[in-house]
């Protein structure tokens, strides 16, 4: 069965802001015990296995951890901890270690862990798991997925309405559905603007029809991210959407360099509101395509700690605020009122089904 949790995006954003502004947790231990008082058996232990990039990646790891922090803040009887993964070889050992230490639930961050989650969950059928960016891999796994093609569509439409060069760009970390869903949506949003407004805006770095494009093959290397972004800028793109975790921060450096050369380049961040998670580059962020990772994790953990483990999966959409676009921040006055109104109409059309997104990377209910 599928359960959806409608959470205000502001809750997740506030939790993420607290996470990004505080001291970096000790990744060796990663534990944050609950408040003192009460019997030990009353505590609920929620343990998170992070993907590469660490807890302060300004993206999905950090936002997911912020959800656990928010759950603990609301219920001090929840004990939380996290462990980083240095590479994919660490997934299985990390997951099994959380089972061995007696966690009530183990939350895996990222679709790349699917095989590892299936292996460990199948071997431990009495253990409860949850996984972000993946459908349930076993009966004891709760999936949390986000249809970011919907938020990406809005970003593409916005970009097509704001570009001065008639060229926009996007690139990803890996050619996998959680990444290409953003890119497909962006591409389709540009095409929709072209159709509705008679424009001829080109998308560089990705072609949904061929599923070919630019990838850093990495979620950490900012130098690669800068190089790819600089290439797109040199080809005429003045708005760029990187979908690559920390590698995407290289796009910020590329935008700064372009500004020094007199070029006006805007960026669109993903997963979180970039003006909160990567504030140093806020002057370049036209908006961000968000997914309410922190809200979904908080809701799951709160329910599980209350004795009711959610079943099936959560699917974040525009309708339940699981995805969307962030405020325009410093660019708000530059986005025409007509374009803002059009974005509201496009959003409504996606929700009511009158606008169809065809991306094959969209998660299924």
Q: Read off the tokens for 109.
A: 């961050």
What pTM value is reported for the model? 0.88
Report pLDDT for 53.
Answer: 86
Which residues touch 115 (CB under 8 Å, ≥6 apart)? 137
Sequential DSSP letters for 168-214: EEEEESSSSHHHHHHHHHHHHHHHHHHHHH----EEESEETTTTEE-
Residue 260 clears pLDDT 90, i.e. is over it: yes
Q: Give tens-digit pLDDT for 47-95.
A: 999 999 889 888 889 999 999 999 999 999 999 999 999 999 999 999 9
CB 238 within 8 A of CB 164: yes
Residue 26 clears pLDDT 70, i.e. is over it: no
Residue 41 clears pLDDT 70, i.e. is over it: no
Residue 203 clears pLDDT 80, i.e. is over it: yes
Question: Helices (DSSP H) in the chain: which residue ranges?
Answer: 9-21, 60-74, 91-100, 114-123, 148-162, 177-197, 222-234, 249-260, 274-277, 293-305, 337-352
Q: Give tens-digit pLDDT for 275-319.
A: 999 999 999 999 999 999 999 999 999 999 999 999 999 999 999
Q: What percentage of the chain exceeds 90 in pLDDT?
A: 86
Sequential DSSP letters for 210-246: TTEE-B-S-SS-HHHHHHHHHHHHHTT-SEEEEESGG
Mean pLDDT of the chain: 91
Average pLDDT over residues 229-243: 98
d(CA 287, CA 307): 38
d(CA 262, CA 240): 17
Residue with more model confidence, 5 or 94: 94
d(CA 113, CA 343): 35
Q: What domains sit in the chain, N to C, each tagged with a CATH number?
A: 9-147+293-316 (3.40.50.2300), 148-291+323-352 (3.40.50.2300)
Burial of 210 (0-12, 13-18, 19+ CB in 10 A): exposed
């Amino acid at each position: 069965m599928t359960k959806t949790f409608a959470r205000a995006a502001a809750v997740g954003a506030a939790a993420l802001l607290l996470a990004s502004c505080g001291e970096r947790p000790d990744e060796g231990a990663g534990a944050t015990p609950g408040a003192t008082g009460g019997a030990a058996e009353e505590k609920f232990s929620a343990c998170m296995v992070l993907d590469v990039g660490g807890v302060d990646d300004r993206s999905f790891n950090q936002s997911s951890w912020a959800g656990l922090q928010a759950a603990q803040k609301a219920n001090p009887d929840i004990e939380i901890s996290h462990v980083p993964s240095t590479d994919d070889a660490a997934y299985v050992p990390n997951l099994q270690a959380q089972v061995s230490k007696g966690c009530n639930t183990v939350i895996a961050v990222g679709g790349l862990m699917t095989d590892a989650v299936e292996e460990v969950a199948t071997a431990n059928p009495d253990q409860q798991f949850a996984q972000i960016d993946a459908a349930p891999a076993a009966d004891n796994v709760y999936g949390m997925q986000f249809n970011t093609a919907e938020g990406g569509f809005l970003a593409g439409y916005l970009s097509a309405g704001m570009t001065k060069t008639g060229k926009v760009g996007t690139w990803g970390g890996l050619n996998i559905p959680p990444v290409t869903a953003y890119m497909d949506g962006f591409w389709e949003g540009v095409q929709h603007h072209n159709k509705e407004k008679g424009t001829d805006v080109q998308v560089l770095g990705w072609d949904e029809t061929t599923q070919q494009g630019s990838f850093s093959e990495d979620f950490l290397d900012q130098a690669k991210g800068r190089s790819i972004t600089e290439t797109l800028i040199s080809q005429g793109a003045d708005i760029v959407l990187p979908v690559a975790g920390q590698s995407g921060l290289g796009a910020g450096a590329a935008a700064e360099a372009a500004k020094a050369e007199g070029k006006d380049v805007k960026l669109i961040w993903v997963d979180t509101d970039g003006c909160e998670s990567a504030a140093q580059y806020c002057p370049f962020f036209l908006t961000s395509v968000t997914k309410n990772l922190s809200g979904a994790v908080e809701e799951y953990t709160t329910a599980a700690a209350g004795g009711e483990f959610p079943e099936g999966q959560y699917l974040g959409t525009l309708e339940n605020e699981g995805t969307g676009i962030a405020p325009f921040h410093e660019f708000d006055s530059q986005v025409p009122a007509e374009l803002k109104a059009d974005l509201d109409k496009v959003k409504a059309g996606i929700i009511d089904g009158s606008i169809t997104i065809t991306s094959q990377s969209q998660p299924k209910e």
